[in-house]
């Protein structure tokens, strides 16, 4: 008689989940390439990898005393780290499994089947409008097969039943194109469903092979073989897959007590949110939805609890980015005064800085428009503040772009004035230090935008990364940024200008002018005695310090002072040879310190051929 196999314990389950998570992460780029539902934005693999990466860095990074403790940690970490539609559904599945099995010292066949069934129900309930042919269908097929295997089990060993259920999950995955026309047209299976099967495949490999499975580096082709475009092939996407009225894939973590899931769902649906997922329990919910205004979703959530971990991705911009055939992707941050038409033309990705106004945090430009920032700045008593994006925001963008481009270049805000560049460097090191590079512009606002524009222009022309970096190094000392603050009260309150300067400026009528120095810091360089004619005086100051024989690119920024900005640009055109010039509203990164009414000018010589 064969010796009975021991029940599944916490150490074994932990290692099995590690193997499964690593398999999904290794295959994330292939999942990105087959992502066509709910929108063809090419990030399902990155989102699942981020979700499972939060488990590897959290619950799975340390030992647990028993399965219940392990599963509780897995469920909580999955909700906190969930990213994207499929990531939120998978997190809710894991949370449901943990909710059922957390009191169990070990998992036998019946307990595993019941826990998976509970997780499947939770995952389906998390969606406002469940759709068949997705990860939900594969999870359900897996649960059905585990139920059947548990009823037939003589010794309670969950392993044979898991193996049979995996076969059914593969079959359900292969059927997804028959359930959704969009998959059939693209010749692929559902990317989220494929990711779930990849997770199961990794777990099965550990069960069959033991610790060697933890060393897996690649994800073998599975049920997607033979479905037209393979697991690793590019899939054409169509622009109509993204609803322009719901172009923002928005997420946050909502914390509170007895969170009313149904009331929150009703409110978000009233906003027109699509692909809505509410994953979690009564104390913490991961909220995911496709909306026209990310801030509307965040504000709705804030009425029910504390909002943390906000993110908003422009799916239409993502989709257009991956359609362009070029090897190098360019990223900047929202401290750049980048004209929208340039960001659109050259597919420049922008990572938002954080803005704090009236005690609330916002995503610059994505969650809070620049115009709304200045409106609140005028009405609020508290000094608005900005802070760098967390490294995770950069890594999400880097990983997404690296899945579709050979290399990624982040052109960032001056290291001397913010920790934003360091956050990008940390993310690049954790993403892929060879494929993701970081360039310190030593500049901000329009100067940062001019350098990002030039990098993207070269990338669109097919110029190699090293040549792009060489051109940026050449242009860096030639790219200048000046700022004129007509009201220095915000700079005084923020500590960037000494208090005695305020009365001096008021008494003398001097309007101070600052310039970004060679060390990347903003310092006072002079001033002009002008009030009504300040924009023209500012233009004259800059023209006297700029070559009139040079042709220039210019970006003029204004802080809630469009009319003055237009006067400044026109005055510059009369004094300098501006080949290309743009007027933009300067964002909070400098506006929070310069104050309303400030004007900025950035100049760069018109580049030659590279």
**Confidence band for 263, pLDDT divided at 50, 70 and 90:** very high
* Per-residue model confidence (pLDDT) at position 240: 45
- By CB atoms closer than 10 A (0-12, 13-18, 19+), residue 65 is exposed
Is the pLDDT at 260 greater than 60? The verdict is yes
* Per-residue model confidence (pLDDT) at position 346: 93
146 close to 153: Cβ distance less than 8 angstroms: no
End-to-end alpha carbon distance in the chain: 77
The tens digit of pLDDT for each residue in 98-140 reads 888 887 666 788 889 999 999 999 999 888 888 899 999 999 9
Output DSSP code: residue 349. Answer: E
258-265 LR contacts (CB < 8 Å, sep 24+) = 258/282, 259/283, 259/284, 259/285, 259/304, 259/305, 260/304, 261/285, 263/304, 264/300, 264/301, 264/304, 265/128
The tens digit of pLDDT for each residue in 534-577 reads 999 999 999 999 999 999 999 999 998 999 999 999 999 999 99
Q: What is the mean pLDDT of residues 295-317?
A: 90
Q: What is the mean pLDDT of residues 266-274?
A: 92
Is the pLDDT at 368 greater than 50? The verdict is yes
**310: enclosing H helix or E strand:** strand 306-314
**Confidence band for 61, pLDDT divided at 50, 70 and 90:** confident
Q: What is the mean pLDDT of residues 33-57?
A: 85
* Per-residue model confidence (pLDDT) at position 236: 39
**Confidence band for 491, pLDDT divided at 50, 70 and 90:** low
Q: What is the mean pLDDT of residues 469-498?
A: 78
- For the structural domain made of 480-605, what CATH number should be given? 3.30.1180.10
* Per-residue model confidence (pLDDT) at position 220: 36
Angle between helices 67-81 and 84-101 (to 10 degrees): 160
365: left (phi over 0), alpha (psi -120 to 50) or beta: left
Is the pLDDT at 230 greater than 70? The verdict is no
For residue 513, the Cα-to-chain-centroid distance in whole angstroms is 36
The tens digit of pLDDT for each residue in 63-77 reads 887 888 888 889 888
Q: What is the mean pLDDT of residues 583-606?
A: 87
SS3 527: strand
**Confidence band for 599, pLDDT divided at 50, 70 and 90:** very high
Q: In terms of DSSP H, where are the helices of 231-272?
A: 261-270
Torsion of CA 422, 428, 430, 431, to 10 degrees: 160
**Cβ contacts of residue 290 below 8 Å, gap of 6+?**
38, 39, 243, 246, 247, 248, 249, 250, 273, 274, 275, 315
Above pLDDT 90, what percent of the chain?
45
Lowest mean pLDDT among 26-30, 239-243, 441-445, 524-528: 239-243
Angle between helices 191-209 and 84-101 (to 10 degrees): 50
591: left (phi over 0), alpha (psi -120 to 50) or beta: alpha
Is the pLDDT at 486 greater than 90? The verdict is no
* Per-residue model confidence (pLDDT) at position 587: 82
Q: What are phi and psi of 605, to 5 degrees?
A: -60, 140
Mean per-residue pLDDT over the chain, rounded: 84
* Per-residue model confidence (pLDDT) at position 269: 92
Which residue did the predictor score with more confidence, 527 or 82? Answer: 82
Angle between helices 84-101 and 135-152 (to 10 degrees): 30
DSSP state string for 227-238:
SSS-TTS-----
Is the pLDDT at 239 greater than 50? The verdict is no
Q: What is the mean pLDDT of residues 500-506?
A: 56
**Cβ contacts of residue 553 below 8 Å, gap of 6+?**
450, 453, 578, 579, 580, 581, 603, 604, 605, 606
Q: Does domain 246-323 have CATH number 3.30.70.1150?
A: yes
d(CA 326, CA 140): 40
Chain length of the chain: 610
- For the structural domain made of 10-213, what CATH number should be given? 1.25.40.340
Is the pLDDT at 215 greater than 60? The verdict is no
* Per-residue model confidence (pLDDT) at position 320: 76
Torsion of CA 153, 156, 162, 167, to 10 degrees: -10
Which residue did the predictor score with more confidence, 457 or 498? Answer: 457
Structure tokens at 342: 């340039």
* Per-residue model confidence (pLDDT) at position 522: 78
* Per-residue model confidence (pLDDT) at position 511: 79
Domain boundaries along the sequence of the chain: 10-213, 246-323, 480-605
Is the pLDDT at 313 greater than 70? The verdict is yes
- Residue identified by tokens 């389906």 is 124
* Per-residue model confidence (pLDDT) at position 404: 82
């Amino acid at each position: 008689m064969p010796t009975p196999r021991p029940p599944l314990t916490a150490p074994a389950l932990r290692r099995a989940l590690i193997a499964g998570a690593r398999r999904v992460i290794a295959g994330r780029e292939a999942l990105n390439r087959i992502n066509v539902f709910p929108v063809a934005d090419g990030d399902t693999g990155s989102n699942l990898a981020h979700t499972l990466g939060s488990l590897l860095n959290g619950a799975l990074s340390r030992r647990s005393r028993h399965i219940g403790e392990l599963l509780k940690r897995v469920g909580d970490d999955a909700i906190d780290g969930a990213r994207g539609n499929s990531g939120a559904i998978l997190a809710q599945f894991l949370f449901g499994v943990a909710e059922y099995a957390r009191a169990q010292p070990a998992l036998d066949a019946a307990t595993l089947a019941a826990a998976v069934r509970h997780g499947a129900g939770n995952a389906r309930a998390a969606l406002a409008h469940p759709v068949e042919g997705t990860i939900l269908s594969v999870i359900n097929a897996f649960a059905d097969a585990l139920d059947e295997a548990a009823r037939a089990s003589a010794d309670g060993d969950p392993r044979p039943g898991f193996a049979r259920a995996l076969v059914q999950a593969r079959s359900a995955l292969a059927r997804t194109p028959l359930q959704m026309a969009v998959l059939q047209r693209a010749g692929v299976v559902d990317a989220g469903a494929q990711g779930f099967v990849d997770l199961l495949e990794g777990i099965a490999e550990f069960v069959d092979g033991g610790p060697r499975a933890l060393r897996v580096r690649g994800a073998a082709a599975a049920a997607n073989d033979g479905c037209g475009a393979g697991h690793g092939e590019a899939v054409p996407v169509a622009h109509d897959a993204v609803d322009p009225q719901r172009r923002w894939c928005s997420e946050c973590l909502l914390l509170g007590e007895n969170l009313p899931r149904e009331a929150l769902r009703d409110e978000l649906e009233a906003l027109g949110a699509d692909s809505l997922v509410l994953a979690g329990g009564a104390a913490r919910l991961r909220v995911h939805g496709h909306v026209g205004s990310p801030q509307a979703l965040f504000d709705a959530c804030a009425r029910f609890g504390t909002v943390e971990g906000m993110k908003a991705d422009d799916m239409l911009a993502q989709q257009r980015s991956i359609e362009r055939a070029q090897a190098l992707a360019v990223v900047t941050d929202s401290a750049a005064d980048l004209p929208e038409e340039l960001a659109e033309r050259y597919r420049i990705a922008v990572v938002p800085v954080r803005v704090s106004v009236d005690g609330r945090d916002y995503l610059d430009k994505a969650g809070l428009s620049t115009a709304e920032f200045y409106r609140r700045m005028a009405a609020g008593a508290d000094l608005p503040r900005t802070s760098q994006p967390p490294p995770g925001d950069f890594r999400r963008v880097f990983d997404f772009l690296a899945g579709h481009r050979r290399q990624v270049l982040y052109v960032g805000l001056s290291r001397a004035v913010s920790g934003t560049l360091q956050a990008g460097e940390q993310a690049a090191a954790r993403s892929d230090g060879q494929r993701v590079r970081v360039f310190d512009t030593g500049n901000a606002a329009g100067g940062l935008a001019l350098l990002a524009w030039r990098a993207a222009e070269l990338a669109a022309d097919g110029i190699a990364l090293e040549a792009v970096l060489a051109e940026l190094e050449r242009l860096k000392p030639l790219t200048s940024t000046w700022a004129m603050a007509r009201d220095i009260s915000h700079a005084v309150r923020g500590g960037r200008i000494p208090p005695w300067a305020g009365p001096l400026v008021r008494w003398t009528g001097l309007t101070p002018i600052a310039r970004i120095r060679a060390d990347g810091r903003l310092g006072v360089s002079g001033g002009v005695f002008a009030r009504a004619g300040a924009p023209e005086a500012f233009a004259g100051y800059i023209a006297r310090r700029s070559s009139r024989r040079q042709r220039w690119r210019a970006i003029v920024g204004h802080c809630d002072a469009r009319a003055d900005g237009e006067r400044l640009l026109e005055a510059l055109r009369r004094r300098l040879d501006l080949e290309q010039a743009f007027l933009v509203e300067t964002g909070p990164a400098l506006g929070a310190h310069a104050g309303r009414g400030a004007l900025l000018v950035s100049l760069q010589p018109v580049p030659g051929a590279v």
